[in-house]
Amino acid sequence: MIGGLFIYNHKGEVLISRVYRDDIGRNAVDAFRVNVIHARQQVRSPVTNIARTSFFHVKRSNIWLAAVTKQNVNAAMVFEFLYKMCDVMTAYFGKISEENIKNNFVLIYELLDEILDFGYPQNSETGALKTFITQQGIKGQSQTKEEQSQITSQVTGQIGWRREGIKYRRNELFLDVLESVNLLMSPQGQVLSAHVSGRVVMKSYLSGMPECKFGMNDKIVIDKQGKGGTTEDTGKSDLGGGSSGKQSIAIDDCTFHQCVRLSKFDSERSISFIPPDGEYELMRYRTTKDIILPFRVIPLVREVGRTKLEVKVVIKSNFKPSLLAQKIEVRIPTPLNTSGVQVICMKGKAKYKASENAIVWKIKRMAGMKESQISAEIELLPTNDKKKWARPPISMNFEVPFAPSGLKVRYLKVFESKLNYSDHDVIKWVRYIGRSGIYETRC
Amino acid sequence: MTDSKYFTTTKKGEIFELKAELNSDKKEKKKEAVKKVIASMTVGKDVSALFPDVVNCMQTDNLELKKLVYLYLMNYAKSQPDMAIMAVNTFVKDCEDLNPLIRALAVRTMGCIRVDKITEYLCEPLRKCLKDEDPYVRKTAAVCVAKLHDINAQLVEDQGFLDTLKDLISDSNPMVVANAVAALSEIAESHPNSNLLDLNPQTINKLLTALNECTEWGQIFILDCLANYSPRDDRESQSICERVTPRLSHANSAVVLSAVKVLMKFMEMLPKDLDYYGTLLKKLAPPLVTLLSAEPELQYVALRNINLIVQRRPEILKHEMKVFFVKYNDPIYVKLEKLDIMIRLASQANIAQVLAELKEYATEVDVDFVRKAVRAIGRCAIKVEQSAERCVSTLLDLIQTKVNYVVQEAIVVIKDIFRKYPNKYESVIATLCEHLESLDEPEARAAMIWIVGEYAERIDNADELLESFLEGFHDESTQVQLQLLTAIVKLFLKKPTETQELVQQVLSLATQDSDNPDLRDRGYIYWRLLSTDPVAAKEVVLAEKPLISEETDLIEPTLLEELICHIGTLASVYHKPPSAFVEGSRGVQHKRLTSSAGSGESVESPDTGSAAVSEAPPTVIPSQGDLLGDLLNLDLTPPTSTGPPPTTAPGMQLGAMDLLGGGLDSLIGDESEPPPIPLRTDTPQSPQPPHQSPSPPHYSPTEVAPGNHTGSLGGDIGGSPAMGTGFGAPPAAMPASFNAPISGGLDDLFDLGGGGGLTMGTYIPPKSVWLPAMKAKGLEISGTFVRRSGVIQMEMTLNNKAMSVMSDFAIQFNRNSFGLAPAGPLQILTPISPNQSIEAALPLSTVGPVMKMEPLNNLQVAVKNNIDVFYFSCQYPISMLFLEDGKMERQVFLATWKDIPNENESQFQIKDCHLNSDAASNKLQGSNIFTIAKRTVEGQDMLYQSMKLTNGIWVLAELRVQAGNPNYTISLKCRAPEVSQCVFQNYETVLKN
């Protein structure tokens, strides 16, 4: 199991050092500093073995987190724990920065004592932790016996992510379907690989211990219902608008927050859960079939002699004309020996950024089924370098108000038997956002 | 509230000030001071001087202050054990507190303080906490048992905590169950044979129930524990799999990977024709692909594991090639791993896509990545024959880029393509030759030289090209030198008229001006071959080469099986067994997959039987060919008087190994059974990795060069200009002490009869034929080895099956692992007439020159008589080398056992041995294997034994004998683990005879 956990700033100074196991000595702290942080190289493996000690490291802005062990630990678990640790710290004091860590070091030690015991991760849900570890010092002195046992049963219980007795005057929930669409296209316009990785993020402000059921246009469920002929769920509580697009989508794979009953999903493919309070990620999914690619990039690069390049890039939007894409940015890489660039674009603004070796073309808004073009002349300095320019792909960023995978939320039902509110009283909001992930076209 | 101010105090006299503040009456001030202390502690300052003052703050109602003091205690208690006692009272009191959070805190902290005196006081509170009404306290106490076990294992056993811990597996609270499982698993690891976890269908059922309810981390503990269970039959296996599969949809990648581990393991039990088996395979792919959208560090872990899974069950991901395409912004470690998997998944169906990708990668920035991509193109060519042509043209395109390292890498892989598809792509040679000058890496140079030599007849100016390399011959690295030597000899054999001068030049460079034994040996062999029989030389040097295999870089199957059992863990990331990087006793047990019995799946996992069977090297006598090189080696280098013990110096694997391992295999073709040479050896003639031995000899010159060639070769030795002394010279003078008991062969015969009583119990292997008559012009030698009152003897029967009288016998040994050498001349006084046989005993000493042999106990011998010189090799039982004073003191044994690192331990099974432990002990004693202690645990006898080798190496053994079970388990520990295999074989032969 994890033998120790260290947090360093970018200079390699220790901000937090907590040792859990006897086999980890103080010299491990220095070994990591010298061999990894001070090496100042590109990290060539996230697991580094120094003198039979393994270091798992993760970097968040300028901060290094390193878990240390001398045993054959579950490596995936260690990384998951480090990410979780980051989440917990962010939930407590915001951004992970040197200042914030120094300001909260007592709190961090407290958290580390609680969520990692002898190197074994314990309950690390902020919802539960916040009931007894707070920034204003620990609660505990003034608690009644009932409160105490409520805390402990929650920390160790089946529903570790939610505490009892939550009350809201207005029961409300927000569902965000956030998708990032990834594309790799050949210069000829052939799709080399494309997939959507999506997340359903839920913000819930619900009283009591509500039982929720979530439904979407999952092909497997729809097909099953089509056969069975039951239409009970459809229509009435449809939140997605269901106006257009595909009836159902094929989901390659999905993973769920630990609140979702996985065995029920496995057997019935229904998604039921008691949600944590506030914001959390309900599920992640991945699709590869019938993806709507919001933009198409058509590059044309011509080398004119040894000192000049001509680049022409056309982008076409491929969605309903009534929808608007936002924050569009096209990044056209230029060779290292570029000396000057002239750009002409029909729409938006384009600039050559020498420090990034790229022409960056920005368009604020663009409606569907439109087309725009940029052309540029790149002057090159003559070099002796034999190696040809690697021609990195042209990448794109954008945001569109629909889900490129075609996913639609069909319903989210809330049941709370003990309190007197019903599914109809809950105000529900759904939003779809499609963003570019790695959206690249080779040129 | 900002705590950062605590980090800034760097004044002098700080400690003094802190002391004052700690003793302040004001609570707030105290707390501030403790915070400052903790901050100093974090940055590495020594604040242990404040120990008493900090401990004084412990008695407080303020939980925050208490936690800070505890933190301090955990860090410094060990350095101030006496002072730490001051804290005991508070701990004990806190363990009784009304607030469960405080009870848990106290027991948690106490477990972290590794001071004996505190530990004593821990037992009672811990016992109470394990049965506490509050689950939070119980789950903390469960982990505390593991802590205590780490400090004092005996105490945990004596106090019966293990049983309480086992009871917690049935606890009503899922987190308590999970922590109990984690604690038990950890404790069980340090007691490999205790049935601590006691996994049976009932407990498994409990664990599977808890799996649905506990936290993500708890699920990981439980899944990792489940993976250690062996289901009784395929039905149980299936039902567990069914209950584990829902975990594949968990958001936590570690839960997913641990579930994959359980499924991969239990799948072995399922019959392949079962519908469920197919369903399961289909269910595994999507979650594995999903892991690739996790954060890069986790992707890396996932990819390393997928690499293993793909090797074990390629069918799972065969349609998912595209997800392994490299993204431009992937971190380099993700890119390299993806590339590896892409090659593994490459097949005829997807090769076009793969090649297009690889070509793209070859133009990227990172040098390592580009090299690997180029290499990958070559591997595709070798793997998918249909794509070879396209691969070659892609490689040629890449060579045109003239990027130095791309060109070099391409040439290295093209050489492999030539070997795989001979006489197909030689048209590109001209293009390759254009780049001769730009090659500066040894591997690329060697590859290019090989190509020039191999196709010398098609390259007009081959001699000029090779000559240009010759100028800086001594500055080249060994592999280039060896390659150059071979290439020029090839050239000479192909175009003898114009290149005579060149070949003489290279031969003299290699033999006279070089210090490198590999090079010299190879040089001499060529020289002699060329001077004695050019026809034979041609047959040998230009022989057909064995084909190279398609699959490359595969992990060795037994290791792969073990790693599959470690999916998700560090072992799977390093691709090494845990014993290779974990110290201490943990993780030493080798896990293996168990397949379903009798369902015809044994082909799937061939080594599930026992390690011993598969690991035992074939005890064939190496064919004469091996000797050739070694014996030639014999006289060329001055013998070292007493070499260091061979097994402790890995550097001792000298030239001969190299030559025999693979050096000659491409020079000397083998018509009989060419073993496929893994592509890993990147130049065609580079040696096989030594760990692959014992491999069957790669060639047998008796077939290549018929008997009389061997003979004339041997006969020529004396006359060769480079040879120092021939075989005629008598070996080293006999030590005086040996003179008395050994007068001659005949006397020794009597000795054999008379001395029977002395050697009672000693196992003497029966004589076996070492040198058959047909290989030695009628001389047949059979023999065995005996150790008698401390003297090692080689007993031989020499049988003359020829028509003429034999006389003038002499004997000599090649250097060997333990420095065995004749202690005197071979005493055969009378000539042996036809059809007469004669007994001879040769006393041996162990002070001869040392060289590591493979197998370790191999001995290569040359015998000369009036007719010729003959070579053979034999293996001596290692017990010949066990000294009579090999009995270790008990304490020393214990200390040594602990002292030897665990990776030096090896386990073997001895099957079908029907002795009880005492009989076995007696029998072994006869061979100087001494039993030091015997312990009986649960009907199992454990014998602890020691033996000492002539070169001072101690071997410690633990022999486990279960009454009624004919299979013994033996663990051997030795500082030189190489001897273990030999020792085990010896055990087996002694016990079974």
Contact (Cβ atoms closer than 8 angstroms) between residue B555 and residue B563: yes
For residue A431, give the 3-state DSSP assignment.
strand
The closest CB to that of B64, out of A137, A262, A438, belongs to: A137
pLDDT for A423: 87
Distances (CA, A) of A355 to A41, A335, A358: 20, 12, 8
pLDDT for B762: 67
Q: What are phi and psi of A147, to 5 degrees?
A: -60, -45
Overall average pLDDT of the B504-517 stretch = 88
Instruction: From A313, A140, A353, A26, select the one nearest B43 (Cα to Cα).
Output: A26
Q: What is the pLDDT of residues B343-402, one digit of tens each?
A: 999 999 999 889 989 988 988 888 999 999 999 999 999 888 888 999 999 999 889 888
The size of the A-B interface in CB pairs under 8 A is 298
pLDDT for B646: 38
**Residues on chain A touching B4 (C-beta within 8 angstroms):** 99, 102-103
Model confidence band, residue B861 (pLDDT cutoffs 50, 70, 90): confident
pLDDT for B619: 36
Answer whether B290 sits within 8 Å of A73, measured CB to CB: no
Residue A212 has pLDDT above 80, yes or no: yes
Give the integer Cα–Cα distance in Å for B703 and B373: 41
Q: Is A351 annotated as a binding residue?
A: yes
Residue B551 has pLDDT above 70, yes or no: no
**Residues on chain A touching B301 (C-beta within 8 angstroms):** 46-47, 75-76, 79
- Degrees, nearest 5: CA angle B632-B635-B638: 135
Who contacts B70 (Cβ-Cβ below 8 Å, separation ≥6)?
A: A113, B58, B105, B109
Model confidence band, residue B828 (pLDDT cutoffs 50, 70, 90): confident
Contact (Cβ atoms closer than 8 angstroms) between residue B503 and residue B530: yes
pLDDT for B177: 93
Residue B292 has pLDDT above 80, yes or no: yes
Contact (Cβ atoms closer than 8 angstroms) between residue A180 and residue A436: yes
Q: Is A364 annotated as a binding residue?
A: yes
Q: What is the pLDDT of residues A378-391, one digit of tens each?
A: 998 887 765 667 78
Answer whether B44 sits within 8 Å of A29, measured CB to CB: yes
Residue B916's Cβ-side half-sphere holds a number of Cα atoms within 13 Å equal to: 5
pLDDT for B247: 94
pLDDT for A135: 60
Q: What is the pLDDT of residues A60-106, one digit of tens each?
A: 989 999 999 999 999 999 999 999 999 999 999 999 999 999 989 88
Model confidence band, residue B706 (pLDDT cutoffs 50, 70, 90): very low
Model confidence band, residue B813 (pLDDT cutoffs 50, 70, 90): confident
Instruction: From A361, A438, A436, select the one nearest A392 (Cα to Cα).
Output: A438
pLDDT for A240: 39
Answer whether B251 sits within 8 Å of A281, measured CB to CB: yes
Give the integer Cα–Cα distance in Å for B509 and B505: 6
**Residues on chain B touching A48 (C-beta within 8 angstroms):** none
Which of residues 318 through 377 in chain A touch B, CB cutoff 8 A?
none
Give the integer Cα–Cα distance in Å for A348 and A233: 45
Helices (H), A203-261: 219-228
Q: What is the DSSP string of B490-552?
A: HHHHHSTTT-HHHHHHHHHHHHTS---HHHHHHHHHHHHHHHH-HHHHHHHHTPPPPPBPSS-
Type of residue found at B541: V
Other Cβ atoms within 10 Å of B757 Cβ, number = 6
Contact (Cβ atoms closer than 8 angstroms) between residue B979 and residue B955: yes
Q: Does A49 touch chain B (CB under 8 A)?
A: yes
Q: Look over chain B and give the mean of its residue pLDDT values, rounded to a whole number.
A: 78
Q: What is the pLDDT of residues A1-44, one digit of tens each?
A: 899 999 999 999 999 999 999 888 888 989 999 989 988 778 88
Give the integer Cα–Cα distance in Å for B657 and B674: 18
Contact (Cβ atoms closer than 8 angstroms) between residue A294 and residue A366: no
Residue B659 has pLDDT above 50, yes or no: no
The closest CB to that of A72, out of B7, B331, B578, belongs to: B578
A contact test, residue of B97, B308, B328 with most A CBs within 10 A: B328
Q: Is A349 annotated as a binding residue?
A: yes
Contact (Cβ atoms closer than 8 angstroms) between residue B418 and residue B425: yes
Type of residue found at B110: M
A354 token code pair: 């020498």
Q: What share of chain A is helix, strand, coil (3-state, %, to 5)?
A: 20, 40, 40
Who contacts B660 (Cβ-Cβ below 8 Å, separation ≥6)?
A: B625, B626, B629, B630, B697, B698
Overall average pLDDT of the A98-124 stretch = 91
Who contacts A27 (Cβ-Cβ below 8 Å, separation ≥6)?
A: none
Directed axis angle between helix B135-151 and helix B100-112, to 10°?
10
Q: What are phi and psi of B623, to 5 degrees?
A: -65, 160
Model confidence band, residue B256 (pLDDT cutoffs 50, 70, 90): very high
Model confidence band, residue B729 (pLDDT cutoffs 50, 70, 90): very low
- Degrees, nearest 5: CA angle A17-A18-A19: 120
The closest CB to that of B136, out of A81, A156, A256, belongs to: A156
Distance from CA of B412 to the nearest CA of A (A): 20
The percent of residues in chain B predicted with pLDDT above 90, rounded, is: 23
B111 token code pair: 């477990």
Residue B977's Cβ-side half-sphere holds a number of Cα atoms within 13 Å equal to: 11
Q: What are phi and psi of A409, to 5 degrees?
A: -80, 125
pLDDT for B2: 62
Which of residues 220 through 249 in chain A touch B, CB cutoff 8 A?
none
- Of how many residues is chain B composed? 993
Type of residue found at B533: D
Answer whether A75 sits within 8 Å of B215, measured CB to CB: no
Distances (CA, A) of B971 to A189, B174, B876, B944: 63, 39, 22, 10
Does the pTM of the predicted model rise above 0.95?
no
- Of how many residues is chain A composed? 443
- Go through A351-383 and write b for each residue having 16 or more CB atoms within 10 A of its CB, e for each that does not: ebeeeeebbbbbbeebebeeebebbbebebeee
- Degrees, nearest 5: CA angle A173-A178-A183: 170
Alpha carbon B414 to its chain centroid, in Å, reads 31
Does residue B927 or residue B963 have the better pLDDT? B927
B2 token code pair: 């900002």
- Degrees, nearest 5: CA angle A93-A94-A97: 95
Give the integer Cα–Cα distance in Å for B144 and B274: 44
Residue B846 has pLDDT above 60, yes or no: yes
Alpha carbon B713 to its chain centroid, in Å, reads 38
- Considering just the CA atoms, what is the radius of gyration of chain B in Å? 35
**Residues on chain A touching B102 (C-beta within 8 angstroms):** 140
pLDDT for B696: 39
pLDDT for B723: 36
Q: What is the DSSP letter of A261?
A: -
Give the integer Cα–Cα distance in Å for B132 and B139: 10
Answer whether B3 sits within 8 Å of A105, measured CB to CB: yes
Distances (CA, A) of B448 to B428, B459, B500, B538: 12, 13, 22, 22
Q: What is the pLDDT of residues B230-251, one digit of tens each?
A: 888 888 999 999 999 999 999 9
Q: What is the pLDDT of residues B439-454, one digit of tens each?
A: 888 999 999 999 999 8
Q: Does A31 touch chain B (CB under 8 A)?
A: no
Give the integer Cα–Cα distance in Å for B224 and B260: 10
Mean pLDDT check: name the lowest of A126-135, B499-508, B572-581: A126-135
Contact (Cβ atoms closer than 8 angstroms) between residue B315 and residue B345: no
Answer whether A266 sits within 8 Å of B252, measured CB to CB: no
For residue B711, give the 3-state DSSP assignment.
helix
For residue B114, give the 3-state DSSP assignment.
coil
The residues pairing with B571 across neighbouring beta strands, listed in sequence order, are none
Q: What is the pLDDT of residues A276-298, one digit of tens each?
A: 988 999 999 999 989 999 999 99
Instruction: From A337, A281, A328, select the one nearest A309 (Cα to Cα).
Output: A337
Taking the CA atoms of residue A77, residue A78, residue A83 and residue A84 in that order, the dihedral angle to the nearest 10 degrees is 70
The 3-class secondary structure across B784-850, one letter per residue, is EEEEECCEEEEEEEEEECCCCCECCCEEEECCECCCCEECCCCCCCCCECCCCEEEEEEEEECCCCE
Beta strands in A206-323 (DSSP E): 211-216, 253-256, 271-273, 278-287, 295-304, 308-317
Q: Does A137 touch chain B (CB under 8 A)?
A: yes
For β-strands A427-441 and A172-185, DSSP reports them as parallel
Contact (Cβ atoms closer than 8 angstroms) between residue B280 and residue B245: yes
Answer whether A284 sits within 8 Å of B584, measured CB to CB: no
